[in-house]
Amino acid sequence: MLKVACLGAGFFSQFHRDGWERIDQTDIVGVADHDPDKASATGYPSYTSLSGMLAATAPDILDIAVPPSAHAEAIRTGLNADLKLIICQKPFCTSLEEAQEMTALAQAKGIPLIIHENFRFQPWYRVIKLAIDDGAIGTPLQATFRLRPGDGQGPDAYLARQPYFQQMERFLIHETGVHYIDTFRFMFGNPTALYADLRKVNPVIAGEDAGLVMFDHPNGMRCLLDGNRNLDHAATNTRCTMGEGLFEGTEGTITLMGDGSAQLRQFGSTIAKEIISQDNSGTFGGDCTFSLQKCAVECLVDGGAFENDANDYLKVIEIEAAVYRSARLMRKVELLSNDQ
């Protein structure tokens, strides 16, 4: 059994714990949070300090699920323990420089550090990527995702689940858009250029909550992120997919619906066939948290390459910085080529 220590008992940490509980090779040995009531409410041995939990439990895996401002300190503390793996929530740290430093420290210690970027593990994106790679839509030319969670209106926006969202000076892209930066590059490779137009709709929050970002990907592929957290989409659970998507090519179009289902329509046809049915997992994002953690454990046990290695994830942070730079300069910006 691999012993897992969880840092953070906030809203999203429940999905982390649920995932670990369902993986046969893992056992949660403790939960630490600065709020002792939240930590003890999880039902696991609880701690108010990470160092105390690490000393008491001697875990194999440290799962960090706290806001970005606490990432660097948590990683530093974890690297001083005899760990086999550290998993850190996204957004990874507070800046590219801080993320680079933590990545270098982990590499020097020889402890794998991966980022809990789970959207690429959502089942609809895995199925859609396989279909595209198999030629289902011919040559892919355009992907569009309309981010519409509908949770950003009014003075109480985000307070029930993740109140720190209101104080984030960079919000839509830094907190949410990174999911799609990573998912687009997972599906189509690293972008070579981008253009961003960002704005704030709800005045009670500090950062931007709406915007358009166009990415140029290799081989003439373009991806558009059309995000607005003040608007919703047609779904019983708007947080299932967080919106709707189109993946278009020379021979067909795949449509992603808000319930997690996706249909393939051949070019020139009015008939679509389902390639993945609606999500009935009853948990976040098609159970993507569990899928990420299971993949990480399999790599740890079998010696495979981790899909969310921190060094690779630095590219996402670089692209994110370019998005904000483009919005500030109000022009398209070039990025390093796909193989650099």
- The yes-or-no verdict on residue 338 having pLDDT over 50 is no
Q: Cβ distance 166 to 158 under 8 Å?
A: yes
CA angle 148/198/144 to nearest 5° reads: 45
Structure tokens at 41: 């409410």
What is residue 340's predicted lDDT score, i.e. its pLDDT?
36
Where do the domains of the chain lie, and which CATH numbers do they carry? 2-116 (3.40.50.720), 120-285+316-334 (3.30.360.10)
- Greatest alpha-carbon span in the chain: 64
- The yes-or-no verdict on residue 160 having pLDDT over 80 is yes
- The yes-or-no verdict on residue 162 having pLDDT over 90 is no
What is the per-residue burial (b if ≥16 Cβ within 10 Å, else e) of 172-204?
bbbbbbbbbbbbbbbbbebbbebbbebeebbee
The 10s digit of each residue's pLDDT in 177-198 is 999 999 999 999 999 999 999 9
The 10s digit of each residue's pLDDT in 27-51 is 999 999 999 999 999 999 999 999 9
* pLDDT band with cut points at 50, 70 and 90 for residue 91: confident
State percent of the chain over pLDDT 70: 99
How many angstroms separate the CA atoms of 317 and 148, rounded? Answer: 23
Structure tokens at 126: 């895995």
- The yes-or-no verdict on residue 110 having pLDDT over 50 is yes
With CA atoms as reference, report the closest residue to 120 among 265, 272, 266, 313: 313
What is residue 243's predicted lDDT score, i.e. its pLDDT?
98
Cα separations in angstroms, 239 against 108, 144, 209, 276, 326 = 38, 18, 16, 18, 28
The 10s digit of each residue's pLDDT in 281-323 is 999 999 999 999 999 999 999 999 999 999 999 999 999 999 9
This prediction has a pTM of 0.94
